[in-house]
Amino acid sequence: MSLFRKKSIESILKKAEEEESRHGSLARHLGVRDLTAFGIAAIIGAGIFSTIGKASADGGPGVIMLFIFTAVACSFAAFAYAEFASLIPVSGSAYTYSYVAFGELFAWIIGWALIMEYGIGNVTVAISWSDYFSSLINNTTPYQVQEWLCLDYFTAKQNHGQVFALLTAGIPMEEIKNGVNAGLIEGYTAFKNAPEILGVKIIFDLPALIINILITALVYRGMKESRNVGNIMVIIKIAVVLVVIFVGAFYVDTKNWDPFMPNGIGGLLKGISAVFFAYIGFDAISTTAEECRNPQRDLPRGILYSIIICTILYVAIALVITGMVSYTELNVGDPLAYVFEKVKSLQWLSSVIAVSAVVAMASVMLVFQLGQPRIWMSMSRDGLLPKAFAKIHPKYKTPSFATIVTGLCVAIPIFFVDMSMVTDICSAGTLFAFMLVCGGVLKLRMDPNAPPSKFKTPYVNSKFIIPALFILTIVLMFVYERSWVDYYLKFESINAFLSKLPIYFFFIGFGIFSVMAFKFNFSLIPSLGLLSCFYMLSQLGYKNWMYFSIWLLIGLIIYFIYGRRHSNLAHQKN
């Protein structure tokens, strides 16, 4: 039994029709404007309201170059998604595309990786939403959200232990509150004041749980309702972002843009994870294919339009906030609100931004919570998951069981997961999926029997371009970034070697891919998409590679225990 058995496009479309007649069909409510709105809803969230601050602090005003580079890389991947979405208009997204291009094992790996993007990624969004919501309540109302109701247990316990150790060492509490350890105070207070049941401290993130329940209920209720709420949230947050840009532009001091890249390329690249995380989500549009009125026409447009619009907004916001204050001040959790609080006449805008941030985070959760159940539904149709995941609610026309399980998968980790734990791993899973989708397009282009797509990525032969880029990169590195080269050629210790391992893999892979591009005349756009995503993946650090590898290993164990034996293709062969 081959691990790389593939499914034809015809069999996928036929299977989708059979499942619709057996379990019911999804309701088709979405047009190109709705899809573009969903894309904007997914992209404009934590990136523009939170992580843009850290990226700006590391890279300075030059962070706009990182946003543009990431947008171009995502656009390359978006072309690949758009071509597949036009060719295979079903809900499986990258999972189904990999099934066609590479076979069942890779399809399972991608399906498992997408759980990291949609399911686990939503844990991050829910916790971030809770932070903004709690701050909004505490700062604008007479009510206070207690610390033990907006933090996870393990973070609170760890912070309490660290502050207690500092106090024991004789450091005054006031000095801790106003020093580099000020971030520990919330957890210390939460653990100290939390109520107890049978000697166990009761600490959990209540706002994160509440928003997860509300979003899950909305997604369960129906696509039409989700679309309407999503569109309203997108209108609100785009309006606020535009106000921020136009009002803030009058307070920009161009002196703050000099130096443009104060920490060089190295400082700029420190923000690559945060900036890429800002773009995660546009691919979720492809999971709604079976709910589109004209998926082969509208999906490609919705994907590309949303990336273009969000990139323009990201670059404009980055220029405004780095122009209003020095980049050195932007390493804060709420950079937009911070810069407007600095201007007395604009302090009223900080509250508006806080409300918009709450709306923005909720819209991201909405799109991710829509995407995950539809991936599981497709995997269930193929026998890789139990049949319950393919069940369609007879009234609401949504994958009901899969939606409930998705809500639980977000809710449970909220009790014990710190947001910083999953951001980079989530980016790793997404980049891996992007790479395989780009590679899938290249593989389909090599198949003379592949059916034509209504949307086709423009073909430019990369036979000489990719090898030339590889050679040029090596030459420029040795000429202009010799210190960077010397750093990566040193082997001081095993930890130093491991930290450099991802970039070694990238350059080895780049070289091998250059040879393949020359031999097989690869198309340029998906080739650049694959290489760009591979490079960003190499910048996430070896620990995130290790964590992601462990996640994939767990997925492979489940596949060999359950998925491989229950696969529809396995039964057909038998």
What does the chain come to in residues?
574
Tokens of 276: 């890429």
Give the DSSP letter of residue 394.
Answer: T
Task: Return the C-alpha torsion angle 47, 51, 54, 56, nearest 10.
Answer: 10
**Helical axes 94-101 vs 104-114, angle rounded to 10°:** 160
Task: Fill in the amino acid letter for 567.
Answer: S
**Contact indicator for 279, 71 with CB cutoff of 8 Å:** yes
Burial 36-51 (b: 16+ CB within 10 A, else e): bbbbbbbbbbbbbbbb
Task: Fill in the amino acid letter for 447.
Answer: D
CA-nearest of 47, 94, 78 to 336 is: 47
Q: What is the pLDDT of residue 217?
A: 92
pLDDT < 50 regions, the chain? 1, 574
- Each as own residue / partner, the long-range contacts of residues 241-246 (CB below 8 Å, 24 or more positions apart, any chain) are 241/44, 241/48, 241/313, 241/317, 241/356, 243/349, 243/352, 244/317, 244/320, 244/336, 244/340, 244/349, 244/353, 245/313, 245/316, 245/317, 245/320
DSSP bridge pairs for 239: none
Domain spans in the chain, listed from the N-terminal domain onward:
28-140+208-440, 153-203, 465-573
Burial 74-94 (b: 16+ CB within 10 A, else e): bbbbbbbbbbbbbbbbbbbbb
Q: What is the pLDDT of residue 469?
A: 92
Sequence-ordered list of residues with C-beta below 8 angstroms from that of 409, at least 6 positions apart, any chain: 115, 119, 120, 372
Q: What is the pLDDT of residue 531?
A: 92
CA distance 1 to 9: 21
Instruction: Please write the tens of the pLDDT for every residue from 383-402.
Output: 888 888 888 888 888 888 98
CA distance 407 to 274: 25
CA distance 237 to 507: 40
Tokens of 371: 């995407």
Total-model pTM: 0.79
- DSSP sequence for 226-250: HHHHHHHHHHHHHHHHHHHHHHHGG
Q: Is 163 left (phi over 0), alpha (psi -120 to 50) or beta?
A: alpha
**Contact indicator for 58, 335 with CB cutoff of 8 Å:** no
**Helical axes 295-324 vs 272-279, angle rounded to 10°:** 140
Burial 376-395 (b: 16+ CB within 10 A, else e): bbbbbbbbbbeeebbbbbee
**Contact indicator for 109, 544 with CB cutoff of 8 Å:** no
Radius of gyration of the chain (CA): 24
**Contact indicator for 120, 404 with CB cutoff of 8 Å:** no
Does the domain formed by 28-140+208-440 have CATH 1.10.10.1590?
A: no
